[in-house]
Structure 1
Amino acid sequence: MEIDAWVWWLIGAVGLGIPLVMTAMPEFGMFSAGAVVAAVVAALGGGIVAQVLVFVVVSVALVAVVRPVAARRNAQRPNLRTGIDRLKGRSAVVLERVDRGGGRIKLAGEVWSARSFDADQSYEPGQEVDVVEIDGATAVVM
């Protein structure tokens, strides 16, 4: 029993879909789509040259068009900061005097130990300060 060419193309499309899922590389999905279009050409009676040509053209066109669009869209996505990185740059309120030796602030609804960024600077209760960085469990403020 001989297997039709379109079946081989579909097997190839599935085979290219596996690395897409395993590696999250979208190029494999584009090659898989090219194989599906080549399967359609084969099912419609196109010769092997037409099948391979359609596979190559569709795959290359998808990589050439979709990849730059996806990269541009990814570059426009806002950088989501999580954990302590999201606290940098936020404002806090001084609860207990903050100087180079320490103190307490209220940051994002929680009480944090803090110290001043500038060793000569101190902040009194009620003052608003900005978080410069997080050093362990201590907010460095100015």
Structure 2
Amino acid sequence: MNDIDAWVWWLVGAAALGIPLVMTAMPEFGMFAVGAVAAAVAAGLGAGVVLQVLVFVVVSVALISVVRSLAARYTVQRPQLATGIDALKGKQAVVLERVDGTGGRIKLAGEVWSARALDTDRTYEVGQQVDVVDIEGATAIVL
């Protein structure tokens, strides 16, 4: 064991940290593996054990802090493009069958939808333009 250089041990450690990275999909293991590779480079350049460990810790912590802050920034942002049901809210539709508080039919985004009026006392006649305010299941709520 004494005849194996320290940089080899760091590379073995990097490979060992790569296994749980692949198995668990936890990126922190990958960052520790990169820190181990950096420590292997330091060991290959002749740095002492204390400096090797320091390089491992500094690189690993720096990567974790940078990647976590970037990940937090992207998880807070909502997608700019509305898709699915969210894309239909606020759109205009044309009444195909009389719509009241109990039901009716509209043409929304080229498709026929069941619909009902938001205000149960209100009715919308055929050909009238309505605004979709919400979608409940397969029913558009119109105003």
What per-residue deviation string (whole Å, max 9, x for no partner) do you get for residues 45-72 of structure 1? 2222111110001111122233213322
Unpaired segments of 5 or more residues in structure 1? none
Partner of 1:124: 125
After superposition, the C-alpha distances for 1:114-133 in whole angstroms (9 at most, x for unaligned) are: 11111011222232222232
- TM-score using structure 1 length: 0.82
The CA deviation string for residues 87-116 of structure 1, in whole angstroms up to 9 with x for no partner, is 333332222211112111112221111111
Partner of 1:123: helix, strand, or coil? coil
Unaligned runs of 5+ in 2: none
Q: What is the aligned residue count? A: 142
CA offsets 1:8-53 (integer angstroms, 9 cap, x no match): 2222223323333444433222222111101111222222211111
Structure 1 counterpart of 2:10: 9
2:137 matched residue in structure 1: 136
* Cα 1:77/1:119, change in 2 over 3 Å: closer
* Match of residue 96 from structure 1: 97
User: TM-score, normalised to structure 2's length?
Assistant: 0.81
The 5 A counterparts of 1:46-61 are 46-61=47-62
1:35 is aligned to 36
Give the equivalent residue in structure 1 for 2:26.
25
Offset of residue 138 of structure 1: 1.5
Q: Which moved more, 1:127-136 or 1:81-90?
A: 81-90
Identical pairs, percent = 74
